């Protein structure tokens, strides 16, 4: 597994070693020892999540207070634009965001550490996204930042308006978000 740094502190892209031949391919999508050795991040994932969304569905920008989740994101089918926002006041990249394309074809993964907001949008057709989380989903601690907050200036790489859940339509401006120390 190769680690590719991003502009955000502690947020990485991970490129797995893929073994392919005329039958198809094989790769380890997760190995705790390799993950810890490559990233320096230790801990235990407690929950796996899987979503299926159609083109222009935007999920996010989500985060949890009191029980922040680290997330290891990958795409099982389709293509998305994935975004992380650093909410850690003590970080030199506080308030900054990073976005990257993820696809089933490329098999890249993104590590988003605890203390970040996360979101993604489906770019074409249908996409299935799977991610590991370091904390259990706790609805009473979940928060959402406006996907189109003007202070963040995120280019979501889509044409037209995104399709949002009722919860995501109620996201608060970044300046009203709850930050981490």
Residue 176: pLDDT over 90: yes
Residue span of the structural domain in which 158 resides: 44-176
Q: Which residues contact 176 (CB under 8 A, 6 or more apart)?
A: none
The pLDDT of residue 44 is 86
Mean residue pLDDT of the chain comes to: 96
Residue 104: pLDDT over 90: yes
DSSP helix/strand/coil, 168: helix
19 in a structural domain: no
39 in a structural domain: no
176 φ, ψ to 5°?
-100, 0
Question: pLDDT tens digits for 4-20?
Answer: 999 999 999 999 999 99
Residue 43: pLDDT over 80: no
11 in a structural domain: no
70 φ, ψ to 5°?
-85, 145
58 in a structural domain: yes
Q: Please list the active-site residues.
A: 62, 131
Q: Mean pLDDT across the stretch 156-180?
A: 95
92 in a structural domain: yes
The pLDDT of residue 80 is 98
Q: Are strands 142-144 and 109-112 parallel, antiparallel or unpaired?
A: unpaired
Distance CA(70)–CA(45), nearest Å, equals 8
Total domains in the fold of the chain: 1
CATH of the domain at 167: 2.60.120.10
Is there a contact between 129 and 76 (Cβ–Cβ < 8 Å)?
A: yes
The pLDDT of residue 62 is 98
Q: Residue 122, CB half-sphere, CA atoms under 13 Å: how many?
A: 20
- Structure pTM? 0.94
The pLDDT of residue 180 is 85
Q: Which residues contact 26 (CB under 8 A, 6 or more apart)?
A: 18, 19, 20
59 in a structural domain: yes
Specify the range with the lowest mean pLDDT, choosing from 24-28, 54-58, 142-146.
Answer: 24-28
């Amino acid at each position: 597994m190769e680690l590719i740094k991003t502009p955000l502190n502690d947020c990485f892209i991970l490129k797995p070693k893929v073994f392919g031949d005329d039958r198809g391919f094989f790769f380890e999508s997760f190995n705790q020892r390799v993950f810890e050795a490559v990233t320096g991040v230790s801990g235990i994932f407690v929950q796996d999540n899987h979503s299926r969304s159609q083109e222009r569905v935007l999920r996010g920008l989500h985060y949890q207070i009191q029980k922040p989740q680290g997330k290891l994101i990958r795409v099982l089918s389709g293509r998305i634009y994935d975004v992380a926002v650093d909410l850690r006041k003590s970080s030199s990249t506080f308030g900054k965001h990073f976005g990257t394309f993820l696809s089933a074809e490329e098999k890249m993964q993104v590590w988003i550490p605890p203390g970040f907001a996360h979101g993604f949008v489906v770019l074409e057709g249908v996409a299935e996204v799977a991610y590991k989380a370091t904390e259990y989903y706790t609805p009473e601690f979940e928060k959402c930042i406006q996907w189109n907050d003007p202070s963040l200036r995120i280019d979501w790489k889509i044409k037209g308006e995104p399709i949002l859940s009722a919860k995501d339509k109620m996201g608060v401006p970044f300046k009203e978000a709850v930050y981490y120390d």
